[in-house]
Amino acid sequence: MKITPPKIIQGGMGAAVSSWPLAQAVSKLGQLGVVSGTALDGITARRLQDGDEGGHIRRALEHFPFPRMAKRVLDTFYIPDGKPAGASYRNYPMHDFEGRREPLELCIVGNFVEVFLAREGHSNPVGINYLEKLQLPHLASIYGALLAGVAVVIMGAGIPLAIPGVLSALSNHEGAEYPIYVSGADGKGETVYMKFDPAAFIEDEVLPPAMERPDFIPITSADALASILLKKSSGTIDGFIIEGNLAGGHNAPPRGKATYSEAGEPIYGKRDEAKLSAIREMGLPFWLAGSAGSPEGLKNALAEGAAGVQIGTAFALCEESGITPNVRRELIQKSLAGEAHVYTDPLASPTGFPFKVAALGGSLSDEDVYLARQRICDLGALRQPYRRPDGKIGFRCSAEPVAAYVAKGGKEEDTIGRKCLCNALIANVGMPQRLKGGSEEKCLITMGDDLVNVGLFSSSEQICFSAKDVVNTILG
Ligand SMILES: Cc1cc2nc3c(=O)[nH]c(=O)nc-3n(C[C@H](O)[C@H](O)[C@H](O)COP(=O)(O)O)c2cc1C
């Protein structure tokens, strides 16, 4: 591993919860700050339409190696005083297999900007986090992050066997490909390769210098998967994050046939816990995640031979988090009053993975709010490719309008309880789409079970806390 293993990794939290201000704050403190790489294309497009307050994106783009690409993105999305109040955001183009240029350029630019800004003002390493399941933007996104000098790539929600090889190729500005699962009408799937060649985007005749290959740390819940990753990956793995089912965000489903509690949550058992003895034998640094955000959590992890812990929930509630301040405050107050509740929803996420949802009035955790929302798929980050009867590849999402999903060969039962995470997550960070009629898309907040323990950092006299408070409290 090239970086010195930190005791605390601030978990990557999409979309834009762990944005550059949080990652920068944590890295400046000598721990590992991690930006979320999820949907940075759309987030950058929306920040530009909001007028790029503080000029951060434009400042970062002055250092971007491909000025003509930067100009194209600015010309398309930047609105100097921000879009008029009440106007909708302009949608940005969705990814496809043909490698349409516009979405790829927006990904390269968005990832560069986020990492560049997180690295500004210090020389400590910064990481980026991706969800394996959101496959189409991977190659362009990683290339953008590499151009900005990302030191660590962390990936969860899938088995990222191909990523190590991708990191080696793209760091040398060589072409790379990524295997993407395409489901078939007959229930059988196939693998189709998404290709990306930096040469098609580099603007000068001369190649930019080779970049340092970042460390790669996959997230897994099971020692068996860690072992598969070690044996079958396309290159070096530098460590593991071992994440249990109390963690915020997506969780791995329970192993074997799923059973559910009366409340409808998946039931986890002993066999869902990773065998740490097996992980230790692999000889790589590892971090424990999932309700590990306390001095005891760190102490236990170190006693188990871990290098430290990865923490999400506590950082998601601190001042530098991207979640809007009023939502953060309400969640903290609920927690301090003993009223916080986190539900492991097996259906909400179109990825099919259980998703932790914090109860919050007026958000999509509220059944009435969910049922009142008209389904629409206008962002499309979670669309899954499928083979159409005419042989072409189409895209569908189980949270899109039911009739459209079924017309694309999807099963109606798969649409039940699905929530549009694309729109909800971008609403969580203050950039909700405005709908016809003037209403806005609603939030859906994810938190880990540690939400109930926020009193470690906060009190009714001092509700707000910073990333520094989290780091100092945990390090003791
Ligand atoms: C708001 C929020 C968003 C998250 N988003 C992601 C994500 O995009 N990718 C990911 O790998 N993990 C994600 N996570 C998981 C965290 O990175 C981290 O592993 C986890 O929160 C650790 O457990 P804790 O919440 O008990 O501290 C998210 C967690 C939270 C609370």
Q: How far is the C-alpha of 337 from the C-alpha of 291, rounded, in Å?
A: 19
Candidate of 8, 9, 10, 13 to mutate for ligand 1, largest count of ligand atoms within 8 Å of Cβ: 13
452 lines ligand 1 (CB under 6 A): no
Whether the pLDDT of residue 208 is over 90: the answer is no
Whether the pLDDT of residue 427 is over 90: the answer is yes
Read off the pLDDT band of 353 (50, 70, 90).
very high
310 lines ligand 1 (CB under 6 A): yes
**What does the pLDDT average to over 36-46?**
97
Q: How far is the C-alpha of 13 from the C-alpha of 17, rounded, in Å?
A: 5
Note the pLDDT tens digit of each residue in 147-156. 999 999 999 9
Pairing of strands 126-131, 33-36: parallel
Rounded to the nearest angstrom, the distance between the alpha carbon of 253 and the centre of ligand 1 is 15
Residues 345-358 as b/e (b if ≥16 CB within 10 A, e otherwise) read bbbbbbbebbbbbb
73 lines ligand 1 (CB under 6 A): no
127 lines ligand 1 (CB under 6 A): no
The topology (CATH level 3) of 8-322+461-475 is TIM Barrel (3.20.20)
293 lines ligand 1 (CB under 6 A): yes
The torsion region of residue 199 among left (phi > 0), alpha (psi -120 to 50) and beta comes to alpha
219 lines ligand 1 (CB under 6 A): yes
Residue 127's pLDDT is 98
249 lines ligand 1 (CB under 6 A): yes
The torsion region of residue 386 among left (phi > 0), alpha (psi -120 to 50) and beta comes to beta
The torsion region of residue 290 among left (phi > 0), alpha (psi -120 to 50) and beta comes to left
Residue 320's pLDDT is 98
Residues in the chain: 476
Rounded to the nearest angstrom, the distance between the alpha carbon of 131 and the centre of ligand 1 is 11
Rounded to the nearest angstrom, the distance between the alpha carbon of 199 and the centre of ligand 1 is 34
Give the position, in ligand 1's atom list, of the atom nearest the Cα of 157. 11
Read off the pLDDT band of 85 (50, 70, 90).
confident
Read off the pLDDT band of 5 (50, 70, 90).
very high
Read off the pLDDT band of 431 (50, 70, 90).
very high
131 lines ligand 1 (CB under 6 A): yes
The protein residue whose alpha carbon is closest to atom 3 in ligand 1 is 13
Give the position, in ligand 1's atom list, of the atom nearest the Cα of 445. 1
Rounded to the nearest angstrom, the distance between the alpha carbon of 312 and the centre of ligand 1 is 5
Read off the pLDDT band of 89 (50, 70, 90).
very high
Question: In the β-sheet with 152-156, what is the strand arrangement from edge to edge?
Answer: 8-10, 308-311, 286-289, 240-243, 215-220, 152-156, 126-131, 33-36
Residue 184's pLDDT is 86
Residue 209's pLDDT is 82
More confident residue, 215 or 187: 215
Query: ∠ CA(310), CA(315), CA(321), 5° rounding?
Result: 135
% of the chain beyond a pLDDT of 90: 92
- Whose tokens are 């007959």? That residue is 186
423 lines ligand 1 (CB under 6 A): no
Rounded to the nearest angstrom, the distance between the alpha carbon of 311 and the centre of ligand 1 is 7
Rounded to the nearest angstrom, the distance between the alpha carbon of 67 and the centre of ligand 1 is 34
163-to-178, 215, 310 alpha-carbon distances in Å: 8, 11, 21
344 lines ligand 1 (CB under 6 A): no
Rounded to the nearest angstrom, the distance between the alpha carbon of 70 and the centre of ligand 1 is 31
> Could you tell me the residue ranges of all domains in the chain?
8-322+461-475
13 lines ligand 1 (CB under 6 A): yes
Residue 15: is the preceding peptide bond cis (ω within 30°)? Answer: yes
Whether the CB-CB separation of 194 and 180 falls below 8 Å is answered with yes
Rounded to the nearest angstrom, the distance between the alpha carbon of 231 and the centre of ligand 1 is 26
Distance of alpha carbon 316 from the chain centroid: 13
- Specify the amino acid at residue 44: T
Residue 345's pLDDT is 98
Note the pLDDT tens digit of each residue in 396-411. 999 999 999 999 999 9
* Average pLDDT across the chain, whole number: 95
Q: Among residues 426, 237, 301, 308, which one has the least CA distance to residue 26?
A: 308
Rounded to the nearest angstrom, the distance between the alpha carbon of 250 and the centre of ligand 1 is 7
The protein residue whose alpha carbon is closest to atom 7 in ligand 1 is 13
